[in-house]
A and B are shown apart, each in its own frame.
Chain A
Amino acid sequence: MKKARLLLKRTVPAVASAAAAALLLSGCGGASVNQVAAPAGATDAPCGAVNVALNAWVGYTANAAVYSYVAKNQLGCSVVQKDLNEQISWQGFASGEVDVIIENWGHDDLVKQYITDQKVAVDAGPTGNEGQIGWYVPPWMAEKYPDITDSKNLNKYASMFATSESGGKGQLLDGDPAFVTNDEALVKNLGLDYKVVFSGSEAALIQSFRTAEQNKTPLLGYFYEPQWFLSEVPLKKVSLPAWTPGCDSDAEKVACDYPTYTLNKIISKKFADSGSPAAKLAKGFKWTNEDQNAVATDIQGGMTPEAAAKKWVDAHQDVVTSWLK
Chain B
Amino acid sequence: MMSTLVRDRSSVQPAPPAVKEPRRRPSRRTTLLAAAVVVWILGFLFLHGTSTLALPASELTDLHRSLNQFNAWVAANRADNPVFLYIFTPLRAAVDSVANLFTTIFAASSTGLRLPEIGWLGTVGLLGWIAFAVGNARVALLTVAVFTFFGLQGLFVEATYAFALVLTAVLLTLLVGIPLGVLAGIYGRVAKVITPVLDFMQTLPTFVYLAPLALIFLIGPASAVIATVIYAAPPVIRLTAHGIRAIPENTREASDSLGTTGLQRLLTLQLPMARRTIVMGINQSTMAALSMVTIAALIAAPGLGQVVVRALQSLDVGTAVNAGLSIVLLAIVLDRVTTAASRRAEPGAARNRRVSRKTRYLLLGVTLVLALAMVQLSRSMLWAAAFPKDLNIGPAIIQAVSSASQWMQNNLSLFTVSFREAVTTGILNPFQSLLTDTPFYILVAVIAIAAYALGGWKLAAITTACLGVIICLGLWSDSMVTLAGTLVATAVVMVLGIIFGVAMGRSERVDQILRPMLDAGQTMPAFVYLVPFLGLFGATRFTAIIAGIIYAAPVAIKITADGIAAISPTVVEAAISSGSTPWQVITKVQLPMARQTLALAANQGLIYVLAMVVVGALVGAGGLGYDVVAGFVQSTLFGKGLAAGLAIVFLGILLDRMTQAAAAAPLRKIPSSKTPAT
Give chain A's interface residues, CB within 8 Å of chain B: 1-7, 10-11, 14-15, 17-18, 21-22, 25-26, 29, 31-39, 49, 54, 56, 58, 78, 82-88, 91-92, 94-95, 97-98, 109-110, 113, 117-118, 164-165, 167, 176-178, 181-185, 188, 196-204, 207-208, 251-252
Contacts and interface: CB of A to CB of B under 8 A. Distances in A.
Interface centre among A49, A203, A208, by most chain B C-beta atoms within 10 angstroms, is: A203
A22 B118 contact: yes
B52 interface: no
30 contacts: A2-B272, A6-B345, A7-B341, A7-B344, A15-B133, A18-B126, A18-B371, A22-B105, A22-B126, A31-B379, A33-B382, A33-B385, A34-B112, A34-B113, A34-B115, A37-B382, A83-B300, A83-B309, A85-B633, A88-B633, A165-B620, A183-B58, A184-B56, A197-B622, A198-B539, A199-B620, A200-B619, A201-B539, A203-B313, A251-B636
B421 A7 contact: no
Contacts of A88: 214, 219, 298-300, 632-633
Contacts of B541: 165
B639 interface: no
B59 interface: yes
B618 to A, nearest CB: 5
Nearest to B56: A184
Given A4-B271, A33-B113, A252 B379 contact: no
Nearest to B273: A1
B635 A207 contact: no
Contact of A110 (B312, B347, B635): B635
Interface string B361-379: 0001000100110011001
B346 interface: yes
A321 B636 CA distance: 40
Nearest to A95: B218
A3 B346 contact: yes
A85 B118 contact: no
A18 B313 contact: no
Nearest to B426: A164
Given A4-B345, A251-B58, A178 B626 contact: no
A184 B371 CA distance: 61
B635 A204 contact: no
A201 B134 contact: no
A113 B72 contact: yes
Contacts of B633: 85-88, 176-178
A222 B348 CA distance: 67
Interface residues of B, number: 91
A175 B274 CA distance: 51
B57 A164 contact: no
Contact of A201 (B298, B313, B372, B634): B313
A242 B72 CA distance: 34
A26 B315 contact: no
Contact of A164 (B312, B364, B424, B636): B424
A33 to B, nearest CB: 5
Contacts of B310: 54, 83
Contact of A97 (B109, B215, B220, B376): B220
B540 A164 contact: yes
B471 interface: no
Contacts of A86: 633
A10 B219 contact: no
Contacts, number: 226
A200 B618 contact: yes
Interface in B85-136: 105, 109-115, 117-119, 126, 129-130, 133-134
B375 A35 contact: no
5 interchain residue pairs of minimum CB distance = A14-B133, A7-B345, A1-B272, A95-B218, A178-B633
B381 interface: yes
A78 B114 contact: yes
Nearest to B375: A25
A177 B299 contact: no
B535 interface: yes
The binding surface of chain A is classed by DSSP as helix
B381 A92 contact: no
Nearest to A92: B219
Contact of A18 (B119, B129, B309): B129
Interface string B139-159: 000000000000000000000
Contact of B130 (A14, A56, A113): A14
Given A6-B345, A252-B59, 17 more contacts: A7-B275, A10-B345, A11-B133, A15-B134, A18-B126, A33-B112, A33-B382, A34-B115, A83-B297, A88-B632, A92-B220, A113-B75, A118-B75, A181-B58, A184-B56, A197-B622, A200-B539
A182 to B, nearest CB: 8
B607 to A, nearest CB: 24
A266 to B, nearest CB: 15
B312 A201 contact: yes
Interface string B598-621: 000000000000000000011110
Contact of B298 (A18, A54, A85, A118): A85
Contacts of A109: 635-636
Contact of B112 (A38, A95, A117): A38
B538 interface: yes
B634 A177 contact: yes
A95 B424 CA distance: 46
Contacts of A33: 112-113, 115, 119, 379-382, 385
A3 B112 CA distance: 46
Most chain A beta-carbon neighbours within 10 Å: one of B297, B539, B630: B539
Contacts of A177: 617, 626, 629-630, 633-634
A39 B110 CA distance: 12
A171 to B, nearest CB: 11
Nearest to A54: B310
A37 B220 contact: no
Nearest to B372: A21
Contact of A92 (B300, B371, B634): B300
Nearest to A11: B134
Nearest to B432: A167
Contacts of A1: 268-269, 272-273
Most chain B beta-carbon neighbours within 10 Å: one of A33, A36, A118, A184: A33
A110 B300 CA distance: 19
A164 B539 CA distance: 12
Nearest to B307: A83
Contacts of B626: 177, 198
Nearest to A182: B58
B541 to A, nearest CB: 7
A270 to B, nearest CB: 14
A136 B191 CA distance: 57
B257 to A, nearest CB: 17
Q: Which of A25, A86, A177, A199 has the most CB of B within 10 A?
A: A177
Nearest to A205: B539
Contacts of B350: 6
Contacts of B214: 88, 91
B534 interface: yes
Given A7-B341, A97-B300, A164-B421, A34 B429 contact: no
Nearest to A178: B633
Nearest to B436: A167
Contacts of A91: 214-215, 218-219
